[in-house]
Each structure stands twice: as C-alpha cells, then as structure tokens.
C-alpha cells in the first residue's frame, strides 16, 4: 500500500479521513510534527492547496489536506479562516462566538471545507470546496464532534453536529460532502496508477 500523508497533526482528522478513504489502496499517515506549514492563503482552497503541496514537496509523497472553518453571516463571515485561532480551546472559541453574536437575530452560518490532493511531484491533482448551511444556537447542545459542533444547528436534521450520529454527520457535513465529491475522481486516479 502506498502512503498518503494527511497534512495535519490532528489524529482525529486522520481517523475521520480514513473513514472516507475506505477501500482505496492508500495507507494514511500524519505529517511529522516538526513540519509546520504556515497558512498564508486568503481562501480555504488556497490554504488546502498550500498544505498539500508543501507536505508533498517536503516528504516526496502524495499528500491530502483540508482547510475548513465556520462563517457567520452577522459577523461578516468571521471567524472564517481564523476559526481554529478564535480561542485557545473549543470552549474558548464557542464562548467568544456566542459573546460576539449576543442577542443577534440573524444566526445563519455555514461550515466550509476545501480539500486538495497533491502528488509526490507536488502537483495538485484534485481539489474541491463544499459548504453545510446551518444556524448558531444561543448555547451548546450535544456531546459529540469537536470545535463548534455543539452550537452549529442544522435545521433539516433538527440537530447540532454534536448531537448527530457519526454516520449522519459524515453524510451531510461540509467535509462529508467534499469527500463525496472528490472520491469518484480519486478512485479513477488511483485505478490508473495501480492498474
């Protein structure tokens, strides 16, 4: 099996990606901790492309990267690209978000996920960007997931991401939709390489 480096230091993200890549002839591995890629892109796609190509270049292996975040209408799209830097912990980030929204009636928001796959020659072979629309609750609900999941409510499911089963979340989330779009192309690419 060929290695596919996940351009993250987060084991949770690797496990989630492994689910989406089941059945493909790739073994996922985390990027080395000491390999730090500065996210200087001005869009989620730019950051995903940057992380995938830089990791591929540094290691000479295929790499997959995602960049995702929460964009809230009433906050002019914040926290956006800075979603993970909005506080030191998930609790801090959620607290800050709820404070900044206050009693605002417009609580519409969307999660955005961009994914890029770079080959061992650092060329971006595939990329996509997808969204999941929802609303921000006034207080957290549910114990699953991570990040902003306890306050991100999806009206069509009548649940927050943190209340959903992993199967439901992977079907309707921004990351799940992005992988669903990307996988047919990645399977073709994989078949051509291993055929």
Number of CB atoms found within 10 A of residue 35's CB: 14
Q: How far apart are CA 43 and CA 162, in angstroms?
A: 26
Active-site residue, selected from the candidate residues 67, 90, 92, 125: 67
β-strands 2-6, 124-136 pairing: unpaired
Asked if residue 79 has a cis previous peptide bond (ω within 30° of 0), the answer is yes
* 67 is known as an active-site residue: yes
Tokens linked to 174 = 């921004």
Q: How far apart are CA 33 and CA 152, in angstroms?
A: 30
Q: How far apart are CA 85 and CA 72, in angstroms?
A: 15
Q: How far apart are CA 182 and CA 195, in angstroms?
A: 19
The set of catalytic residues is 67
């Amino acid at each position: 099996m060929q290695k596919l480096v996940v351009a993250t230091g987060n084991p949770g993200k690797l496990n989630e990606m492994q689910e989406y890549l089941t059945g493909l002839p790739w073994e996922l591995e985390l990027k080395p901790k000491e390999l730090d890629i500065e996210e200087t892109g001005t869009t989620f796609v730019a950051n995903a492309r940057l992380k995938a190509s830089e990791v591929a270049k540094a290691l000479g292996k295929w790499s997959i990267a995602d960049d995702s975040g929460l964009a809230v209408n009433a906050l002019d799209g914040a926290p956006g690209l800075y979603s993970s830097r909005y506080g030191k912990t998930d609790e801090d980030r959620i607290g800050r978000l709820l404070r900044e929204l206050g009693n605002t009636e417009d609580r519409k928001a969307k999660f955005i996920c961009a994914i890029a796959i770079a080959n061992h020659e650092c060329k971006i072979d595939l990329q996509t960007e997808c969204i999941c629309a929802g609303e921000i609750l006034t207080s957290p609900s549910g114990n699953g997931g991570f990040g902003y999941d306890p306050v991100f409510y999806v009206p069509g499911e009548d649940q927050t991401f943190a209340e959903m089963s992993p199967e439901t979340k992977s079907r309707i989330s921004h990351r799940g939709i992005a992988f669903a779009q990307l996988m047919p192309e990645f399977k073709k690419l994989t078949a051509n390489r291993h055929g």
